[in-house]
Amino acid sequence: MPVKNKYHKEIIGLIKKFSVVESPDREGFGLKYVGTNKPSYHLNTKDTQTVAKEFLRKNKLSTQELHLLLDSLYYGGTYEEVNIAAKIIQYDKELRQNINFDKLNYWLENVHGWAEVDTLCQMAFTSDDILSKWGDWKKFLVKLNRNSNVHKRRASLVFLTKPVGQSADIRLSGLAFNNVNHLKQEKDILITKAVSWILRTLIKNHRSEVISYLEDNSD
């Protein structure tokens, strides 16, 4: 599908500037490792960050323009477009703090594999972002936790991994334990790895609770 959003076209140009290939492909072990189902321009992490920062430095977009750009990037078809979209969210504090949950859910519809989930869900949002709109975030994360899409179920845990390490607020830890509890029987590696990750992170501020939870669920 041809790209119609002018800002998206600009980002594609920046991606190609840093890319080592003429067109995106599915070559290399790296794509299999990150679990994406999309072709890649094979940008490294530093170049991906540079593209997002360079774009935002040159362009001052309204919230509506950002939403349209992110809609386009998340459905653009390559691994880099999805990751750069997440970086744009991470670097725009106002967008994060006034996140549109319908949009966030829409973007999550087209992420695939742990890296695409985690770039948005673990790296972009902070404990302050989530606690400032706690009621909305709690409702959203509980809904993700019960979703039929395994990538959204992973997101219900990964959205909380950074926050529970940054803050000892029991609202965050309580929801984390509840979401883990609901998914603890799952065998998909996207879930089992996320469960392990968030429990390890919870140790920083809730060590005794983690020990008790593991003892109670040792089987």
| pLDDT one-digit tens code per residue, 63-96 | 999 999 999 999 999 999 999 999 999 999 999 9
Place of tokens 């969210």: 89
What is the reported pLDDT for 1? 58
Residues 6+ apart with CB under 8 A from 117: 108, 111, 151, 154, 155, 158, 190
Q: Residue 162 has which token pair?
A: 């950074």
Q: pLDDT by residue (tens digit) across 31-55?
A: 889 999 999 999 999 999 999 999 9
Residues 6+ apart with CB under 8 A from 9: 3
The beta-carbon contacts of 130-139 under 8 Å, at least 24 apart in sequence, are 130/159, 130/160, 130/163, 130/172, 131/163, 131/167, 131/169, 131/171, 131/172, 132/97, 133/97, 133/99, 134/171, 136/101, 138/171, 138/175
Place of tokens 């950002």: 66
What is the reported pLDDT for 157? 98
pLDDT band at 2 (very low <50, low <70, confident <90, very high): low
Count how many Cα atoms sit within 13 Å of the Cα of residue 79 in the half-sphere of its side chain: 28
What is the reported pLDDT for 28? 85
pLDDT at 118 over 70: yes
pLDDT at 182 over 80: yes
| Average pLDDT, rounded, for the chain | 96
What is the reported pLDDT for 54? 96
- Please state, in angstroms and rounded to a whole number, the distance separating the CA atoms of residues 16 and 6: 16
Average pLDDT over residues 188-205: 98
Q: pLDDT by residue (tens digit) across 125-156?
A: 999 999 999 999 999 999 999 999 999 999 99
Neighbours of 22 (CB within 10 A): 8
- Please state, in angstroms and rounded to a whole number, the distance separating the CA atoms of residues 84 and 25: 17
Phi, psi for residue 132 in degrees, rounded to 5: -70, -20
